[in-house]
Amino acid sequence: MRILIVNDDGIYSPGILALAQVASEFGDVIIVAPDMERSSTGHAVTHSRPLSYRRTAIAGFDAFRVDGTPADCVAVGSSILNKADVVLSGVNLGYNLGNSMWHSGTLAGAKQAALMGSRGIALSAPSSTVDVDFEPLKPHFARTLQLLLPDVGLPLVNVNFPLAPRGSLWTRQSVRHYDGQVVPVKDPMGRQLYWFTVVPMEETEEGTDRWAIERGLISITPLRLDLTDGPALQRMQQQLRDAEPNVPKM
């Protein structure tokens, strides 16, 4: 099995090394990751300038650092590998739960794999002011890969690990609105700057990714690329049929 590993924290993140070490027990690993942190860059791709990449030494792994986004790295890695069997993105330093999935570069790496007809698995762990010790989490990474690496018809999966997991739960994405306030601060020269902040406005719903993490469980969420709101589509189609009965039925 050819496993391509990407992330959005940058190629020198301890999370990507821990993931590569565990994944190498399951197949041939190649690391292709951004040369600097690209967290919260979402699913951006670089199309108005060329990309470049360089081979780099990461603890004995075949690794390349790219001056691009996580999604760029999947494209570059797929061309180096002539398509990977699976793309693992992470392990991110920080959860990617609920609303974070819309901003996450980690998840974008996995999504890019799914868009290119491969499979993508995003993996995230808590962030901390000191580097997270991944050693105790490695057996949990291994068990999760054992579950998800075989092709069981899941093109895109988002996994979040609490610090000390006591089990796993299949979950759905939580939808929690946040205030998105832009908070003014002053720099040391007295100039005005602004921070984008995320303060949740609602409680956590049962059965969601965040609900699992709050209970010390590994959250595994199967995702799809189709964002269509199925019930809304049906409702609006019905409304149109009622208003204009002569419109051809779809």
Interface residues with Mn ion (CB under 5 A)?
8-9, 39, 92
* Cα 162 from chain centre: 16
- Cβ-Cβ contacts under 8 Å for 11 (sequence gap 6 or more): 31, 33, 34, 35, 56, 58, 63, 65
Residue 50 region by backbone torsions, left for phi larger than 0, else alpha for psi between -120 and 50, else beta: beta
H or E element in which residue 192 lies: strand 192-196
- Nearer to Mn ion by C-beta: 8 or 72? 8
Least separation in angstroms between residue 245's CB and Mn ion is: 52
Least separation in angstroms between residue 42's CB and Mn ion is: 11
- Nearer to Mn ion by C-beta: 9 or 209? 9
What are 54's strand-pairing partners?
A: 65
Distance CA 160, CA 187 (A): 35
In the bound state, the residue with its beta carbon closest to Mn ion is 39
- Nearer to Mn ion by C-beta: 9 or 35? 9
Token pair, residue 155, equals 């093109």
- Nearer to Mn ion by C-beta: 27 or 126? 126
Cis peptide before 132 (omega within 30 of 0): no
Least separation in angstroms between residue 45's CB and Mn ion is: 17
Least separation in angstroms between residue 132's CB and Mn ion is: 12
- Nearer to Mn ion by C-beta: 90 or 165? 90
Least separation in angstroms between residue 38's CB and Mn ion is: 7
Burial environment of residue 124 by CB neighbours within 10 A (0 to 12, 13 to 18, 19 or more): buried
Least separation in angstroms between residue 89's CB and Mn ion is: 10
- Nearer to Mn ion by C-beta: 8 or 35? 8
The edge-to-edge listing of strands for the beta sheet with 53-58 is 53-58, 61-66, 28-34, 2-6, 86-93, 120-125, 156-160, 218-223, 168-170
Shortest CA distance to 173 belongs to which of 139, 207, 127, 133? 207
Q: Within 44-127, where are the H helices?
A: 70-81, 100-103, 105-115
Least separation in angstroms between residue 10's CB and Mn ion is: 8
- Nearer to Mn ion by C-beta: 14 or 27? 14
